[in-house]
Structure formats: C-alpha cells, structure tokens
Structure 1
Amino acid sequence: MSALADRRVGEFVNQYFVSSFQKVGTFRIVAGQKQGGNVATYFCAADGRVLHVIPGPVGAEQFLTEARWVVTSVRRGLEESKKTGKPFKVLFREYHAERLRQQYGLLVEPARFDVDTEAPGALSYRDPTGRPLAPVLLPPPLHGPDVTFGQDLLQQRQAREAAHPLAQIVPGIDGRRWALGPLAQAHQLLAAHALQPIEKLYGTVFERILGEKISTKPVEIVTPFPWRPEGKRGQPLPLPARP
C-alpha cells in the first residue's frame, strides 16, 4: 500500500492508532512475482470492534482522509452518545450512512440492532476443509439516490465508481442498479455492521468486497530457487527425503 510509505501517514497513524497486521488470505509467489492476495486497513476501537475499513490499497491522500474521518467521527460520537456503548454504535452506523449519502449520493437505512451470526443455519465463509472462519454479513439495501444530490453530480460519481477495478453493480430496492467501488461498499456494509468485532467483519470485506478467499493456508512459493535445475519447470520443489 503506497500510503504507508508517506511520512504524513506514518505520523498521523502513530499519533492516533496502534498498528498491527495479520494475514487472512493466501497467495502464490511464482518466479518472484506475487499472484493473488489483497489488503484491507481496519480502524478499530481498543477492543477490536471495527469503526471503519479501507478495502484495497489507496494513496496517501485517500488514506489520510479516511483516517481523519475516523478520528473526527469518534470524537463526535462520544460527545453525542455521552460515552454510552449502544448509542455510540448506532451513531457510528448513522455516520457511515451519512457519508454514503454525502460522498456517493445514495441512501441506506442504518441498522439499530446486530444480526445473530450464531443462529442455526447462519451462513459462513469457510476454508477448503469446510471449517467456518467468519460469518457472512449482508449490507443494508440501497434505497436509491438522494434527491437533493443533483442528477449531474450523481452521474459523475457513478461513472467514477464504475471505473474502479473492484466496482460492483448493486441493485436497489426500487430495481435500479448502482455502481459502488470498494470504499462505498465499505460504508454501505458498516451502516449495518459498524462496531462489530473484526473477526466477524473481515470475511465479508475480504471475500465480498475484495473478491479474495480468506484462508489459513501459508503462502505457496513456486520455484523459490529458479536457478536450480529442479525449479526450472515451474513446479514446486520436492520435499527433502526423511531419514
């Protein structure tokens, strides 16, 4: 992610956040080149509940815009909720719905209650063995455009979103279809699921928004030593014989 090489990003993150990372997908390295995989940046409360997420790599300006929004929104939410948990959660979902309207001209109804992801029959993302890794979380439906947004501006935003490589076409409840890039999809998702634990959210972000598979598999390196004869055919090196 090019943003992390920017000094301003480092200073802001160090001032307001504690950084960590975790691999949740797998990829292959073939002839020194990475194939597959992606990245998501989560802004979390101290207990690991997700305030915001940036799906995919972004530049420094976009990263700082989102990070500053998180800090400002937390301060606003603490003041408006009088530092009580449930109102703060609902407020943060409202902030995501508000940002979706302001930035993209689209309306959603923020959720006031959490979905029971432990209920019998609840859908899960699973690893290749069938073991459940994370619940499937559905975003709230789009209610269509904000009529005060302006048709020309809405069309411009739709063209911009549709041009993103990870854009998805999302149907609204009125039958119209809308292009959403990954950040718009994140706001839509978090209008229903902000302040959910990261272990519940990461699967939907990685699989639904980024189009990657979550996995506990290690990185597979194909021909890590391509100059050796056994590595020249593009096949994984054989394991050493055991005595």
Structure 2
Amino acid sequence: MRLLLVEDDDHVAAALSAILGRHGFQVVHARSGEEALQALLPADAPPYGVILLDLGLPDQDGYEVCGKIRKRTGTPVIMVTARGDVRSRIHGLNMGADDYVVKPYDTGELLARIHAVSRRTSGGDDAAPAADTVVRFGPVGIELPTRRVTVDGADVPLTRKEFDLLALLAQRPGVVFRREQIISEVWRTSWEGTGRTLEVHVASLRSKLRMPALIETVRGVGYRLVAPPSGS
C-alpha cells in the first residue's frame, strides 16, 4: 500500500517510515502542509491508501490541511498528534479525518488503525446497508444511496464513519447496538482500541445534528437511536 506521511520531524518520519516499510507500505514523506498537498497533485500517480497527518506542521495548521486534503481526495486520513482532548478529536473528525491517534502511541495500535481505515477502499466504502430508500426518523432524513443527511430539510455534512454509524443505528430505531457490533460493522475490526474512536464519533454526531438526545448511551452495552419528542 502507498502511504503519505505528513510529518515535519525528520527523525520521527525516518523511524516511522522504516517500521511501515517493514510492514509492506511504500511511504512518501511530506514535511509540510504544502508538500502534502503537492504530493496529491499528479493525476497519473498511484493512489495513496492512507494519509498519516501530523497536526504540528511548520507552514499551516494541520486541521486546515486536512480540510484541503478532503476537498481533493477521498483517501482515508488519520490524524497523528499530541492533542488528545475530546474537543480536538471532534474538531479533527469534523474537518474530515477518518481516525485520530494520540502521541505517544504504540506502533501496533497505529498499524491496526491504518489497516482498519484502509479496509473501506479495498472492501467497499460503506458499512451502511445497501438500499435505495430514504430513512426518516423525526426531523432527520438519511438518504442511503447518496449518503446525504438532513435535519428539517437542511443538509448536515458528515464524515464517512459518522454516516455509517448513524445509518447503522437507524436500521433498528430503539434497539440497542452493542459497542462490539458497531465497531465490527462500521470499522470492520474487532480491535478493542477502536472504542474511544466510537465515543468521539457519537459525540460529533450529537453535535452536528444538534440533537444530543437522539443517540442514547446504554451504559455498559452500547448505543441506540431514540425517537425525538413530538414537535421536534
């Protein structure tokens, strides 16, 4: 797999490139946001399977770079940063990141996340069910074929995994989906470390839909979609 590593620290990049190389990745290293964007330009170049994006870049804010990348390509982006608070994670997902890894990280963890997000390009993009219908749940409309979500008719932009998560819960409103099942169907992995990513995606969905009570946490079990009050 061809992988774009956006990292301004040459020592970190060299060590990580060596590890990734031993696991079969062909690594292209970009030291700045501009270099990363330039690396995406050649139309005839082989596509990248994953982009690892450090947020502490010398020329541009990493979040801004992620937004620009997302406008150019659908390649999965994993943010790699020391900013581990929930607000930063949510902001990264809102900017289009598919996953978020906090430094210092275990190499095995990073490799697991790379393989997890790359499965959607090799095994299909959508974890949501294939259908040609529009699911309506109160003011929320979910168009499965076009992956469009609206609230009271207004478009709500979601990341791939946010849409997949919402579409999965909408299959059976009121039914509790276990965390393990969600992780298996949306992230296509059984790796336990994905649990924190799930929590961040749920928080982001609640914020974007402006309906915090729509997705209910069932402690110790998982999540379910709850019917909004009448008139909502």
TM over 0.5: no
Q: Which has the higher contact order (CA 8 A, sep 6+)?
A: 1
- Report the TM-score, using the length of structure 1 for normalisation: 0.29
Structure of higher CA gyration radius: 1
